[in-house]
């Protein structure tokens, strides 16, 4: 691994350890027992980080008791937002398929997914991650919603490229 990248990955591991220590008593810790010793550990954690980044807070926690009353209210409210987000994200592959030749889409996806992954690897607290990921998560939710709108407008989920070009 090139030194520059290795240093960045070591920083991610260091910030994760600091976050675990600082928020050891947090009510929404996730994978707090996982630390990264090397690059291999980090690469192996990427699928889990993507799951956490895109799908947390998970349905099993939506109506569970938090440590504070405000946490309970936030869990309840976040359940509706996440249900809406899940439904919208199902349309994301449709949008990506339709606009797959647009380089700006790939740049947006790469940047946002990279940031979501880094945040999920660094922040082992769902409450904090929920807030920090917002500027990178919501554009993807909006693109997913656009995928649903386009599929309803075209009356299909995957359509020919010629047809989709005519509707813009």
Q: pLDDT in tens for each of the 168 residues of the chain?
A: 677 777 888 888 899 999 888 876 777 888 888 988 888 899 999 999 999 999 989 888 776 666 666 566 777 788 899 999 999 999 999 999 999 999 999 999 999 999 999 999 999 988 889 999 999 999 999 999 999 998 888 765 554 555 555 555
CB 86 within 8 A of CB 102: no
CB 116 within 8 A of CB 50: yes
Q: Any residues with CB less than 8 A from the CB of 95 and at least 6 apart, and which?
A: 143, 144, 146, 147, 150
Whole-prediction pTM value?
0.81
Tokens of 124: 């082992």
What was the pLDDT predicted at 97? 93
Domain boundaries, the chain: 3-166
């Amino acid at each position: 691994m090139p030194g520059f990248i290795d240093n960045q990955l070591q920083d991610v591991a260091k910030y994760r350890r600091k976050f675990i220590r600082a928020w050891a008593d947090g009510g929404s810790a996730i994978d707090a027992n996982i630390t990264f010793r090397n690059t291999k550990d980090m690469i192996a954690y990427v699928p889990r980080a993507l799951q956490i980044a895109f799908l947390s807070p998970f349905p099993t926690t939506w109506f569970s008791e938090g440590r504070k009353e405000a946490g309970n209210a936030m869990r309840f409210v976040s359940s509706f937002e996440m249900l809406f987000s899940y439904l919208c994200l199902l349309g994301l592959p449709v949008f990506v398929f339709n606009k797959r030749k647009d380089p700006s889409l790939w740049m947006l996806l790469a940047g946002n997914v990279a940031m979501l992954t880094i945040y999920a690897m660094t922040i082992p607290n769902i409450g904090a991650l929920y807030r920090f990921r917002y500027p990178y998560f919501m554009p993807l939710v909006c693109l997913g919603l656009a995928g649903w709108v386009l599929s309803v407008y075209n009356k299909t989920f995957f359509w020919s490229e010629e047809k989709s070009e005519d509707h813009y």
